[in-house]
Amino acid sequence: MKAIVYDTYGPPDVLRCDEIEKPIPTDDEVLVRVRAASVNPIDWHFMRGAPYVVRMMLGWRKPKVTRLGVDVAGEVEAVGRNVTEFEAGDEAFGSCRGAFAEYVCTAGSALVRKPGGVSFEQAAAVPVAACTVLQCLRDRARLQVGQQVLINGASGGVGTLAVQVAKAFGAEVTGVCSTRNVDMVGSLGADHVIDYAREDFTTGGRRYDVILDLVTNHSLSACRRVLNPGGTYLMIGGADYRLLSLVSVMIQSAALSWFTSQTLGLMLAKLSKQDFVAIAALMEAGKVTPVIDRRYALAEVPDAIRYLEEGHARGKVIITVE
Does residue 255 register a pLDDT over 70?
Answer: no
Which pLDDT value is given to residue 230? Answer: 94
Does residue 287 register a pLDDT over 60?
Answer: yes
> Do 86 and 111 contact (CB within 8 A), yes or no?
yes
Which pLDDT value is given to residue 243? Answer: 46
Mean pLDDT, residues 313-321 taken together: 97
Q: 243 in helix, strand or coil? A: helix
Which pLDDT value is given to residue 42? Answer: 92
pLDDT tens by residue, 163-209? 999 999 999 999 999 999 999 999 999 999 999 999 999 999 999 99
Mean pLDDT, residues 293-322 taken together: 96
Please give the Cα distance from 227 to 240 (Å, whole number). 24
pLDDT tens by residue, 19-39? 999 999 999 999 999 999 999
- What is this structure's pTM? 0.92
pLDDT tens by residue, 206-246? 999 999 999 988 988 999 999 999 999 999 864 444 444 55
What is the dihedral angle through the alpha carbons of 38, 43, 47, 51, rounded to the nearest 10 degrees?
Answer: 160
- In the chain, pLDDT over 90 holds for what percent of residues? 81
Does residue 305 register a pLDDT over 60?
Answer: yes
Domains of the chain with CATH codes = 2-125+290-320 (3.90.180.10), 128-266 (3.40.50.720)
Which pLDDT value is given to residue 250? Answer: 57
30 burial via Cβ count (<10 Å: 0-12, 13-18, 19+): buried
